[in-house]
Amino acid sequence: MGMLDKCATELHTWVVTLLFVYTSEFDRLARDVLTDDDLRAVEERLLDNPRAGAVVAHTGGVRKLRLAFGGRGKSGSARIIYLYVEADARVYFLLFYQKNQQASLSEAGKRRLQGIVTALKEGHV
């Protein structure tokens, strides 16, 4: 085994650890829709790439992760709104909504999220 092979092998053995924090609002909104398996799949996806969701403008860094539920088409899709705080190795699940119930976040909703982000990053929550 050459030096490069050894280094490549070692790189693949690193373990990414993130703390997933579910807010009570997220739990309330997702409770009757997402299963434990759905949430586990989302967590695994974010472990692979915590920046997987698109950044939502004017929110202080909140991301929107698109979910598609098998066999339900676009009306069966949903969004998870989360915040990845790299310095703390945490992912905060903030909101959940189905596309057939809400098209996108309102400007007022974005301002509210920005306040939550500020509080989370400053440790006031």
Residue 69's domain is classified under what CATH number?
Answer: 3.30.2310
pLDDT of 16 over the 90 cut: no
Is 2 among the domain residues? Answer: no
Structural domain total, the chain = 1
Cβ-based burial of 109 (10 A; exposed 0-12, middle 13-18, buried ≥19): middle
Task: Report the predicted TM-score, pTM, of the whole model to 2 decimal places.
Answer: 0.81
Taking alpha carbons only, the member of 72, 85, 3 closest to residue 38 is 72
Range of the domain at 116: 23-121
Is 15 among the domain residues? Answer: no
Is 60 among the domain residues? Answer: yes
pLDDT digits (tens, 9 = 90+) for 32-91: 889 999 999 999 999 999 999 999 999 999 999 998 866 655 556 899 999 999 988 999
Could you tell me the CA-to-CA distances from 30 to 35, 51, 86 in Å, in that order?
Answer: 9, 21, 24
Is 3 among the domain residues? Answer: no
Is 10 among the domain residues? Answer: no
Is 103 among the domain residues? Answer: yes
